């Protein structure tokens, strides 16, 4: 079952790339919706307390102990939901723009979907690494082909930066692999069972952290991110921010800490410190940004920093909050970037100073934008709140002062998001924004779905928390330090 989540989009992508049908966008949407249905099917059959489910385990390169091993637990399922709920939305939101050689674009997005599903499903270390790198290839082309000005330099930097990070992870993974009893194995359980000395674990954890910190990104490994988010086509930005960076957080939960718990006493203060520094730092920078997309990029660094901190403190509140917030951040940031896309398409600019008064000409757009923004602000009864509450509580339980520092995000978040929203939507309209058209059906559907999810998950966070609860307990119980 779980194999289809990888196979369908990848085969679909190959078909699109080879046959280049005329209605590539419709085909891609259909395929991704099929995957979504598959995910929902998985969800309906999933037993939250049932441990690992829907597994698939066949030898692949038996001589090196590599198996094609997929498993689904609550955490994986949540990330599959994230990927497969949002990919169709991302595809559909791209319908509003015309691309050169559309079939290639949509094929690459599908390839990305398959690779991401693989990352979250992989139960074998090397398989994880393979999918992790596979996901980098389509996004590289998406950004490098359909991006904005200066895209080659920016994308190359992004590619090399994240790729080098991943190589450190590969080395760390191989090191742990070689420590498994012969014949060696990449299976999660076998890797976790390895007892490393503190010094070894120190290096292993560092290797993993470099990979994931660049991907998320965590301060100070974040400088590729604002440029890349700003330059990429909106679809690419959404893929990167809504789904792809979750690979890093997922990696921390599933691989980094379980494989090298011995070093966490030493590393945790450093990692959490960096993450929380990033929260404050990126929030501060976001305060005076004028390019709306860049502003959201920085806000994303802040939000992800908080998720990273929550996950890294490795307690129930933090990890549960982090997992919940992964989904919510994906939803919110997708909505925000789509709103920016609408603004940019209508006005030909992303500068806040070219906007103003849009709420008057486009009230529906303003209302939907507002709801999504509130989700991002973590106002109660929107989806951002339960996650942020748990994250802050988790970090606070780790250390009250660090928790209070991270809590500044709720103040700074209000500062930069409300400033941006006010400058863009309120005030008197200028000659451009006076004629700003309100959302049409296609845009309404995307924004409407996002806004509905914001409210739904805001009122009923237990829907998600219940899915992951026992899986988180299990992983926390298995990995203690």
Partner 1 sequence: MQTLIPLIPFLPLIGFAVNGLFGPRMSKGVSGWIGSGSVLLSFVLSILAFMEVSATHSPIRSEVYHFMSVGNLHISFGFLVDALSSWMMLIVTGIGFLIHVYSIGYMHDDAGFSRFFAYLNLFIFSMLLLIMGDNFVMLFFGWEGVGLCSYLLIGFWFTNRDYNLAANKAFIMNRIGDLGLLLGMFLIFKTFGSLQYEEVFARLAESQVETGVITSICLLLFVGAIGKSAQIPLFTWLPDAMAGPTPVSALIHAATMVTAGIYLVARCNGLFSLSHEALQVVAVVGMATSVLAALIGLQQNDIKKVLAYSTVSQLGLMFVSLGMGAYASAMFHVTTHAFFKALLFLGAGSVIHAMGGEQDIRNMGGLRKHLPITFWVFLIGTFAISGVPLLSGFFSKDEILAHTFDHGGVIWWALASFSSLLTATYMGRLFFLTFFGSFRGTHEQAHHLHESPPSMTIPLVALAVLSVVGGLINLPHIFHTGSTQWLAHWLSGTGINHQPVVPLTEVHLSASSEWMLMGFASVVALVVLAFTYASYSKPSNVPVPDEQLKGAARVLAYKFYVDELYNALFVRPTEALSKTLHYYVDVWAIDGVVDGVGRGFQTLGATFRRLQNGNIEYYLIGMVAGGIGLLLTYFL
Q: How far is the CB of 473 from partner 1 (least distance, A)?
A: 9
> What b/e string do you get for 469-479 counting C-beta neighbours within 10 Å, with b at 16 or more?
bbbbebbbeeb
d(C-alpha 307, C-alpha 318), whole Å: 8
Other CB atoms within 10 A of residue 198 CB: 11
Exactly one of 97, 179, 316, 474 binds partner 1 (CB under 8 A); that residue is 316
Q: What is the DSSP string of 290-327?
A: -BHHHHHHHHHHHHHHHHHHHHHTTSHHHHHHHHHHHH
How far is CA 418 from each of CA 41, 374, 415, 448, rounded to the nearest angstrom? 39, 9, 6, 21
Q: Does 389 bind partner 1 (CB under 8 A)?
A: yes
Q: Does 419 bind partner 1 (CB under 8 A)?
A: yes
Q: How far is the CB of 84 from partner 1 (least distance, A)?
A: 24
Radius of gyration of the chain from Cα atoms?
21
Segment near partner 1 (CB under 8 A); pick from 9-17, 92-100, 228-236, 285-293: 285-293
Angle at 366 between CA 325 and CA 146, to 5 degrees: 70
d(C-alpha 408, C-alpha 341), whole Å: 29
Segment near partner 1 (CB under 8 A); pick from 18-26, 174-182, 250-258, 378-386: 378-386
Q: How far is the CB of 336 from partner 1 (least distance, A)?
A: 18
Residue 38 corresponds to which tokens in the numbers above? 């598959």
Residue 307 corresponds to which tokens in the numbers above? 């998720």
Q: Does 461 bind partner 1 (CB under 8 A)?
A: yes
d(C-alpha 134, C-alpha 240), whole Å: 14
Nearer to partner 1, 45 or 422 (CB): 422
Q: Does 17 bind partner 1 (CB under 8 A)?
A: no
Q: Does 351 bind partner 1 (CB under 8 A)?
A: no
Q: How far is the CB of 223 from partner 1 (least distance, A)?
A: 4
Q: Does 149 bind partner 1 (CB under 8 A)?
A: no
How many residues bind partner 1 (CB under 8 A)? The answer is 58
Residues in region 207-246 near partner 1 by CB under 8 A: 220, 222-224
Interaction site with partner 1 (CB under 8 A): 157, 160-161, 220, 222-224, 281, 284-289, 316-317, 320-321, 357, 359-360, 363, 367, 374, 379-381, 385-386, 389-390, 392-393, 396-397, 400, 403-404, 407-408, 410-411, 414-415, 418-419, 422, 425-429, 460-462, 465-466, 469
């Amino acid at each position: 079952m779980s194999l289809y989540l990888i196979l369908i989009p990848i085969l679909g992508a190959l078909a699109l790339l080879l046959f280049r049908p005329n209605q590539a966008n419709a085909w891609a949407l259909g395929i991704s919706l099929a995957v979504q249905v598959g995910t929902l099917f998985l969800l309906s059959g999933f037993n939250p307390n049932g441990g690992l489910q829907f597994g698939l385990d066949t030898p692949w390169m038996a001589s090196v102990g590599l198996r094609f091993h997929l498993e689904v637990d609550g955490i994986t399922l949540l990330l599959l939901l994230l990927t497969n709920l949002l990919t169709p939305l991302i595809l559909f939101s791209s319908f509003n723009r015309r691309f050169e050689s559309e079939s290639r674009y949509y094929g690459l997005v599908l390839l990305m979907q398959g690779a991401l599903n693989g990352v979250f499903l992989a139960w074998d270390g090397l398989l994880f690494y393979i999918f992790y790198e596979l996901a980098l290839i389509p996004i590289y082309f998406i950004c490098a082909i359909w991006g904005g000005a200066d895209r080659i330099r920016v994308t190359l930097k992004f590619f090399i930066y994240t790729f080098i990070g991943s190589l450190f992870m590969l080395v760390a993974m191989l090191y742990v692999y070689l420590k498994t009893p012969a014949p060696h194995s990449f299976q999660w359980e076998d890797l976790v069972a390895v007892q490393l000395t503190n010094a070894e674990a120190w290096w292993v954890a560092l290797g993993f952290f470099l990979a994931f910190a660049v991907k998320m990104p965590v301060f100070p490994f974040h400088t590729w991110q604002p440029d890349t988010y700003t330059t990429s086509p909106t679809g690419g930005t959404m893929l990167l921010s809504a789904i792809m960076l979750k690979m890093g957080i997922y990696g921390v939960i599933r691989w980094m800490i379980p494989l090298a718990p011995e070093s966490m006493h030493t590393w945790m203060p450093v990692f959490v410190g960096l993450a929380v520094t990033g929260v404050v730092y990126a929030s501060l920078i976001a305060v005076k940004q004028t390019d709306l997309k860049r502003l959201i990029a920085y806000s994303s660094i802040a939000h992800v920093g908080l998720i990273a901190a929550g996950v890294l403190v490795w307690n129930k509140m933090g990890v549960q909050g982090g997992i919940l917030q992964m989904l919510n951040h994906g939803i919110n940031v997708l909505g925000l970037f789509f709103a920016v896309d609408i603004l940019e398409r209508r006005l030909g600019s992303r500068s806040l100073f070219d906007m103003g008064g849009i709420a008057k000409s486009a009230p529906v757009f303003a209302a939907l934008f507002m709801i999504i923004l509130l989700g991002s602000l973590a106002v109660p009864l929107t989806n951002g709140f339960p996650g942020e509450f748990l994250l802050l509580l988790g970090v606070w339980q780790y250390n009250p002062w660090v928790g209070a520092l991270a809590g500044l995000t709720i103040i700074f978040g209000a500062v930069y998001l409300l400033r941006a929203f006010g400058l863009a939507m309120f005030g008197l309209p200028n000659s451009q924004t006076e004629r700003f058209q309100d959302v049409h059906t296609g845009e309404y559907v995307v924004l409407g779905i996002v806004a509905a999810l914001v409210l739904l998950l805001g009122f009923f966070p237990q829907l998600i928390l219940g899915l992951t609860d026992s899986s988180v307990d299990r992983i926390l119980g298995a990995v203690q330090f």
